[in-house]
């Protein structure tokens, strides 16, 4: 690629409430170590009744538009696997809430947790074609499993917005990519279900198979060697999966699997996911945000990305951190997005989990719970109504 293209700005958002895993463990009679140590999770974000992927996506994107304006944004790509409509892109609601120009294309992309990486690569292609453009990529998801199911402890909700353009201020995305697809049924959600179905052991195996497959292709495409990378951002359905994945990659490449080395490569990428839970498409980019917000100095250093989406599609690629990146980070705002969440008890969480709109086409306002900048006001005539606060 003759011009430098990548992530120019990045911002995160999450839900109004937080459920500590101690509350879940108390309800389940589970030893807390199973959550804190076994899967590496401490708490999960829980959206308010008037929050969803649109309100979180708009909240993540609004600071980017405020900082850079919208004149050059000609495309919005919204990646999600918890979509609110089978036809209309969730991004169109965000486009409206943010007052973006009408001279724009807006689409929604889906492939489980991989979707945001597809969106990022799509964005890079558009910018390469017309370097005057910028693309707004939004990854937003609410991870939801059945109550009292094995997946319940890995739930979460968050959005990451990224502005993609030339001469990026944060991370330059490199060629090549290592790619891998396999038809597996490790995780899926049929149209008639609100909650996903997951085969936990199958999913771990499919993820590790994808680690091998993407790295093999990346190496064959003449990518960087493993020891060049300063850190690795993995998709984190639960944070311990990043450690499993990196250990597997080291083994596959014939490297030692020293725990301290793995912690150095992974440790700083798990900070946000540990307390937010699984955010599906946003997860790997929350890992990047956490890394950039904590690392001493990554200037000029390559970071590896392993994006995995069940079903399954995966991609391994590299990004180099740009000089001066610290001046453009939103570390304080990112930490505040997490710190501002209000604790919810198990009964309150369960009520939110079970809440759903009637399907009768009537008027169904939502209780005003969120303190965020946007809210889902309700449903009327089968139409979702959003408000900027």
Q: Which residues are catalytic?
A: 81, 113, 235
Closest residue by Cα to residue 143 from 202, 219, 195, 181: 195
Any residues with CB less than 8 A from the CB of 168 and at least 6 apart, and which? 4, 5, 6, 7, 8, 322
* Residue keyed to tokens 């009537």: 362
The two most distant CA atoms of the chain are separated, in Å, by: 61
CB atoms within 10 A of CB 224: 16
* Residue keyed to tokens 């879940």: 24
Q: Which two tokens stand for residue 163?
A: 């502005």
SS3 content of the chain, % helix, strand, coil (to 5): 40, 25, 35
| Residue 315 burial (10 A CB sphere; 0-12, 13-18, 19+) | buried
Q: Crossing angle for the helix pair 283-294 and 331-339, nearest 10 degrees?
A: 120
């Amino acid at each position: 690629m003759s011009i430098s293209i990548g992530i120019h700005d990045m911002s995160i958002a999450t839900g109004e409430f937080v459920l500590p895993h101690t509350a879940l463990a108390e309800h389940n009679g589970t030893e807390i170590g199973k959550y804190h140590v076994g899967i590496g999770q401490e708490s999960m974000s829980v959206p308010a009744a008037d929050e969803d992927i649109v309100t979180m996506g708009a909240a993540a994107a609004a600071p980017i538009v405020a900082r850079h304006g919208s004149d050059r944004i000609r495309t919005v790509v919204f990646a999600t696997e918890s979509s609110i409509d089978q036809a209309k892109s969730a991004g169109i609601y965000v486009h409206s809430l943010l007052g973006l120009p009408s001279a724009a294309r807006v689409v929604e992309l889906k492939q489980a947790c991989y979707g945001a990486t597809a969106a990022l690569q799509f964005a890079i292609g558009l910018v390469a074609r017309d370097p005057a453009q910028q693309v707004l990529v939004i990854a937003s998801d609410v991870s939801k499993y059945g109550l009292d199911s094995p997946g319940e402890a890995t739930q979460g909700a968050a959005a990451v917005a990224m502005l993609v353009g030339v001469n990026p201020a944060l991370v330059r995305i490199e060629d090549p990519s290592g790619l891998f697809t396999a038809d597996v049924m490790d995780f899926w959600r049929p149209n008639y279900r609100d909650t996903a179905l997951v085969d936990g052991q199958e999913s771990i195996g499919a993820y590790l198979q994808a680690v091998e497959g993407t790295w093999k292709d990346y190496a064959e495409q003449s990518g960087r060697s493993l020891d060049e990378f300063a850190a690795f951002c993995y998709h984190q359905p639960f944070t311990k999966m990043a450690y499993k994945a990196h250990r597997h990659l080291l083994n596959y490449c014939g490297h030692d699997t020293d725990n301290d080395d793995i912690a150095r490569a992974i440790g700083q990428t798990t900070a946000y996911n540990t307390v937010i839970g699984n955010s599906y498409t946003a997860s790997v980019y929350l890992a990047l945000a956490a890394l950039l917000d904590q690392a001493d100095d990554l200037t000029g250093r390559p970071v590896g990305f392993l994006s995995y989406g069940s079903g399954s599609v995966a991609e391994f690629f590299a990004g180099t951190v740009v000089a001066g990146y610290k001046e453009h980070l939103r570390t304080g705002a990112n930490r505040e997005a997490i710190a501002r969440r209000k604790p919810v008890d198990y009964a309150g969480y369960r009520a939110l989990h079970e809440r759903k709109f009637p399907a009768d086409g009537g008027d169904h306002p939502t209780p005003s719970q969120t303190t965020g900048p946007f809210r889902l006001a309700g449903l009327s005539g089968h139409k979702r109504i959003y408000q900027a606060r």
